[in-house]
């Protein structure tokens, strides 16, 4: 596996909601098989940044490329692009009127027009991998938060995306359920998946990241390997941000 192959390229991205820029001139490359973790104070634009990557947010200027193809233009076929860029949300966003397996199968059957039997086999395999095969016929409301989130991950995985985006996927979970979701993600990372993760779980970031990207005030302030970043952050802003965490953890 060539780690140097660029999968997703973001050049000079600017995002503005109308009252000042949320993201100003952000550039970032995601290489194949790489796990990037975006961290930063709330409101720094990291979730917005992630949502720009699959077109859920429009951008004011700049360019986004997937496999060398510009996907930020007007003529983008988002349906095709989004099959290659999976996304998992903080609030799970399972479809409450469908059973677990129907949630997982909606994409393969309606978007990719795959054979039902084949898709169902794969759905079962994936559900088994996250330990939820026995829940395949229940409705989302019968699941715990952690279980919902694992289903949401499976729903994205079954599309066979080239890259997965995780938007604070453990932020709405009870502490004891965080682990089960992070374990699934860690396993994906070990399996060579390309991932961009927005998280507040610093321990996890340290364990899973190839690169830590620190965003603040709508720009990338620092980017480094996790050991280097967490042990000796170079910028003042990153030091300050990390200090908040140590302070909080000692205070508990």
Partner 1 sequence: MSEYAHLYVEAAKLTLGLGAAGILFSLIIGLVCSLVQYYKIPVLKRIVSVYIELSRNTPLLVQLFFLYFGLPKIGIMISSEGCAVIGLSFLGGSYMAEAFRSGLEAIENSQMESGLAIGLSHAQVMRYIIFPQALSISVPALCANVIFLIKETSVFSAVALADLMYVAKDLIGLYYQTDEALLMLVIAYLILLLPISLAAAWLERRLRYAGFGN
Q: Which is nearer to partner 1, 104 or 221 (CB)?
A: 104
Among the listed residues 91, 124, 217, 245, the single contact to partner 1 using CB under 8 A = 91
113 forms part of the interface with partner 1 (CB under 8 A): no
Residue among 96 and 192 whose Cβ is closer to partner 1: 96
139-168: contacts with partner 1 (CB under 8 A): 139-142, 152, 155-156, 159
Q: Cβ closer to partner 1: 185 or 212?
A: 185
CB of 87 to partner 1, least distance (A): 4
Give the Cα separation of 226 and 246 in Å (integer).
16
Q: What is the 3-state secondary structure (H, E, C) of the chain?
A: CCCCCEEEEEEEEEEECCCCEEEEEEEEEEECCCEEEEECCCCCCHHHHHHHHCCCCCCCEEEEEECCEECCCCCCCHHHHHHHEEEECCCCCCCCCCCHHHHHHHHHHHHCCCCHHHHHHHHHHHHHHCCCHHHCCCCHHHCCHHHHHHHHHHHHHCCCCCEEEEECCCCCCCHHHHHHHHHHHHHHHHCCCEEEEECCCHHHHHHHCCEEEEEECCEEEEEECHHHHHHCCCCHHHHHHHHHHHHHHHHC
Nearer to partner 1, 172 or 207 (CB): 172
How wide is the angle at C-alpha 17 spanned by C-alphas 22 and 87, nearest 5°?
Answer: 70
Bridge partners (DSSP) of residue 166 are 88, 197
CB of 188 to partner 1, least distance (A): 17
Contact code string over 18-57 relative to partner 1, x by CB under 8 A: ------------------------------------x-x-
Of 32 and 148, nearer to partner 1 (C-beta) is: 148
Q: How far is the CB of 99 from partner 1 (least distance, A)?
A: 8
Q: Kindly tell me which of 17 and 78 has the beta carbon lying closer to partner 1.
A: 78
Q: How many residues bind partner 1 (CB under 8 A)?
A: 30
Instruction: Examine residue 135 and tell whether it contacts partner 1 (CB under 8 A).
Output: no
Give least dist CB 250 to partner 1, A. 36
Among 58, 112, 239, 246, binds partner 1 (CB under 8 A): 112
Contacts with 101 (C-beta within 8 Å, 6 or more apart), sequence order = 120, 123, 124, 127, 136, 137
Single out the segment in contact with partner 1 by CB under 8 A; choices: 85-93, 171-179, 205-213, 228-236: 85-93
Provide the binding-site residues for partner 1, judged by CB under 8 A.
Answer: 54, 56, 78-80, 82-83, 86-87, 89, 91, 93-98, 106-107, 110-112, 139-142, 152, 155-156, 159
């Amino acid at each position: 596996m060539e780690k140097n192959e660029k999968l997703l390229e973001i050049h000079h991205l600017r995002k503005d909601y109308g009252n000042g820029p949320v993201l100003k001139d952000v550039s970032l490359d995601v290489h194949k098989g790489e796990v990037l973790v975006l961290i930063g104070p709330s409101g720094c634009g990291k979730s917005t940044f992630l949502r720009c990557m699959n077109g859920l947010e429009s951008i004011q200027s700049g360019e986004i490329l997937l496999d060398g193809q510009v996907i930020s233009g007007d003529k983008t076929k988002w349906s095709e692009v989004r099959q290659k860029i999976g996304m998992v949300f903080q609030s799970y966003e399972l479809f409450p009127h469908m059973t677990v397996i129907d949630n997982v199968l909606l994409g393969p059957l309606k978007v990719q027009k795959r054979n039902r039997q084949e898709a169902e086999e794969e759905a079962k395999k994936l559900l088994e991998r996250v330990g939820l095969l026995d829940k395949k016929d229940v409705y989302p409301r019968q699941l715990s938060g952690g279980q919902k989130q694992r289903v949401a991950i499976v729903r994205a995985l079954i599309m066979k995306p080239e890259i997965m985006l995780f938007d604070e996927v453990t932020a709405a979970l009870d502490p004891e359920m965080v682990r089960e979701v992070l374990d699934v993600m860690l396993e994906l990372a070990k399996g060579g998946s390309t991932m961009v993760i927005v998280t507040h779980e610093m321990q996890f970031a340290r364990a899973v990241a190839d690169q830590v990207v620190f965003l603040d005030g709508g720009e990338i302030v620092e980017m480094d390997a996790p050991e280097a970043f967490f042990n000796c952050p170079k910028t003042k802003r990153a030091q300050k941000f990390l200090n908040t965490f140590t302070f909080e953890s000692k205070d508990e």
